[in-house]
Amino acid sequence: MVPYEYYVALSGLLMVLGLVGIIVRRNLIAMLLSTELMLNAVNIAFVAFDMKVGDVSGQVFVFFILTIAAAEAAIGLGLIMAIYRLKKDVNTETITELKL
């Protein structure tokens, strides 16, 4: 049996990769993709802790995270479409309306 610490370490690694992706990428769609990575890292941690304590509450929360991820993708991509129509670009360097 694989100890649950390995799963938690994998979850931490995926979380860090997602954060690096959000900081590094300049494409709005790629940044949203990185948030999906971070959400998946959280899901792995939930199910791993579930496996350790022998319960299923974490899996219920993973279910909620899945629905929220779907809502987030729909809204986020809708916003990206609106930004693209307005600016004809999805580069974060060009979206500077709120800059003083």
HSE of 47 in the Cβ direction (CA atoms, 13 Å)? 12
The yes or no reply on residue 87 touching another protein (CB under 8 A) is no
The yes or no reply on residue 66 touching another protein (CB under 8 A) is yes
- In the complex, the smallest distance separating the C-beta of residue 93 from another protein, rounded to whole angstroms, is 7
Looking at beta carbons only, is 88 or 100 nearer to another protein? 88
Whether residue 18 contacts residue 79, with contact meaning beta carbons closer than 8 Å, is answered with no
- In the complex, the smallest distance separating the C-beta of residue 47 from another protein, rounded to whole angstroms, is 5
Whether residue 18 contacts residue 2, with contact meaning beta carbons closer than 8 Å, is answered with no
